[in-house]
Structure 1
Amino acid sequence: MVKQKILILIVSLLVVSFSLYFFLSDSNQTKPASVETKIMNEETDSNENTEQSLAEENQNSKETEREKEAVVEDVSVEMAKDEEKEKVDGESDKEDTKTEGIREKVKGVVEGVIKLFEKDLNVVAIGDSLTQGVGDETKNGGYVGILTNTFKENNLDISIENYGKRGNRTDQLLKRLEKKEIEASIQQADVVLITIGANDIMKVVKNNIMNLQVDQFDQAKTGYLERLTAILDKVNEINPDTKIYLIGFYNPFEHYFGDIKELQMIVNDWNASSEAVTEQFENVNYIPTSDLFSDSDIELLSKDQFHPNTSGYKLMAKRILENIDEVTVEPN
């Protein structure tokens, strides 16, 4: 009986010993694994932090580049996003909602009496955002709306159809001239007013924003002048009896790139070249506007600092009236 108890005790001790052995063995194997896992996690975190740091540097670099590119986004398409679309029910409702201050802003631009050499006059305005009237805080249609108000105040039977479209370049305007509606209007027009060219320059700036070179503008100007000539040819083809006025553009980059003096020289060069193209046609005249926006004592640009505000458009309208042959302004 005693031997049996001793045997049981020995077996129990062996079981306990083996259990302790396996327990300690598992514990020793687990600890290095835990340490190894911790080291791997730290290395992963370190790699992630390094990658995140590099990603942030790349992101900052890309954001800087995007900021420069954003400055020259096609204004006629993306630049005046803060403008609100005003819903109106007819011209009478629109007139009723105008304040006296707005009425004063859109009043005629001449002090005198405008007289027509003909009984009535049909005018068609085509081109980019300057014709559309983008930037005019009164939502009156820019220089076209101001001209219309001026004619009404002087009891003149002059109608103006506005086909200005924000963002238009010479290639796009040339294509739009094939539209039946525009073609039909030009066929009946006594006068065609055109603003075009600023977005052609804008395209050069946008495509080469990180490395602008003067020769890039010179190369682009060749194509621009060819398309401008094609536009004037097309209008004459539609209506050989109409009178065409090409309205020059001002430096739209002065606010954003005022430190780049070459841009003003480029704008002047493109305007001079545009005027030279008009001189090839007997029925085409050039009307400059760049000087109107230089060194002004009053703010002439809208909130986007790219398009004219109402005051800027009034100066343009006045300049146009002073240069078209179909009307004359006489003192009161």
Structure 2
Amino acid sequence: MIYGLFFGDSITYGEYDGVFGGWVDILKRYALQKYNEGSTNELILFNLGIGGETSEGLVKRIPHEMKARNSADGNIVFIGYGANDLAVKDENQMIDAEQFKANIETAIQHAKLYSNEIYLVSILPISEKIDSKISTTGKIRTNEDVLVYNQILKDIATENALSYIDFHSAFLEDKEILLSKDGVHPNEKGYGMMAEIAIPIIEKYL
């Protein structure tokens, strides 16, 4: 029995998807279906996404979460952060780029105690409608910052020989169709596309 642990914010959690419950929930159902159809391994997926969380929260909880959900048969870890870290509120970035890099690297060190299978998940592009504008929560996000933080994730993945899941590129062209009304979270179509991209990854463990 292999465990898949998905750490992240509201996009990992699946917010704004009233149809499928988000990309991780789609993967959960897929893994269960494959097991019922006779796949070799039972893959149990845990959605550990928390709305509004930054990489600061991840660093605090990952040692405990990993310890509590550690399978003797192996663990797969997905880390998807940055959309909240890069947001600017009251003229301050929630978590600046340097600290973001340090936090993700710390989290990876914790994850490596339990797993060699670690995936970094890219930040999604944001809608042009909200780029550089103050949201209802008082936060400003820019696509420019998204590129900077995604580059940090790519570099960390390369340096640590980890896999990088590039949802950003997949969304870029049709983002206005794949994002929900708030311009940050995917809609059900967007979450469906994320799951399609991620299914071949989890297939390897089934």
Which residue number in structure 2 is paired with residue 168 of structure 1? 53
Q: Give the CA deviation at 1:312.
A: 0.7
Residue by residue, what CA displacement relative to the aligned partner does 1:184-228 show, whole Å, maximum 9, x if unpaired? 2145542111111111001xx22328xxxxxx79x9211110111
Which residue number in structure 1 is paired with residue 31 of structure 2? 151
Q: Give the CA deviation at 1:286.
A: 0.9
Higher relative contact order (CA 8 A, sep 6+): 2
Alignment of 1:184 onto 2:96: no
Specify the code of the residue in structure 2 equivalent to 1:279. Answer: T
Which residue number in structure 1 is paired with residue 124 of structure 2? 250
Q: Percent identity?
A: 26
Q: Give the CA deviation at 1:281.
A: 1.8
Alignment of 1:208 onto 2:91: yes
Find the residue that maps to 1:200 and give its secondary structure: coil
Which residue number in structure 2 is paired with residue 93 of structure 1? none
Which residue number in structure 2 is paired with residue 193 of structure 1? 78
Find the residue that maps to 1:233 and give its secondary structure: helix
The alignment covers a number of residue pairs equal to 193
Which residue number in structure 2 is paired with residue 16 of structure 1? none
1:187 and 1:247 mapped to 2: Cα distance? Answer: 22
Change in CA separation of 1:294 and 1:178 when aligned onto 2, cut-off 3 Å: same
Which residue number in structure 1 is paired with residue 22 of structure 2? 142
1:311 and 1:144 mapped to 2: Cα distance? Answer: 14
Which residue number in structure 1 is paired with residue 99 of structure 2? 223
Contact 2:126 2:143 in 1 (8 A): no
2:97 and 2:67 mapped to 1: Cα distance? Answer: 27
Which residue number in structure 2 is paired with residue 280 of structure 1? 159
Residue by residue, what CA displacement relative to the aligned partner does 1:120-145 show, whole Å, maximum 9, x if unpaired? 5321111111111111122x431111
Contact 1:163 1:182 in 2 (8 A): no
Contact 1:198 1:252 in 2 (8 A): no
1:148 and 1:319 mapped to 2: Cα distance? Answer: 14
Q: Give the CA deviation at 1:327.
A: 4.6
TM-score, normalising length: structure 1: 0.52
Contact 2:80 2:121 in 1 (8 A): yes
Contact 1:148 1:159 in 2 (8 A): yes
Specify the code of the residue in structure 1 equivalent to 2:23. Answer: Y
Structure showing the higher helix proportion among its residues:
1
1:195 and 1:186 mapped to 2: Cα distance? Answer: 19
Specify the code of the residue in structure 2 equivalent to 1:233. Answer: Q
Specify the code of the residue in structure 2 equivalent to 1:195. Answer: G
Which residue number in structure 1 is paired with residue 7 of structure 2? 126
What residue ranges of structure 2 are gaps of 5+ in the alignment? 134-140
2:203 and 2:184 mapped to 1: Cα distance? Answer: 30
2:56 and 2:176 mapped to 1: Cα distance? Answer: 34
Residue by residue, what CA displacement relative to the aligned partner does 1:126-174 show, whole Å, maximum 9, x if unpaired? 1111111111122x43111111222234334321011110111011111
Find the residue that maps to 1:199 and give its secondary structure: coil
Find the residue that maps to 1:134 and give its secondary structure: coil
Q: Give the CA deviation at 1:249.
A: 0.9
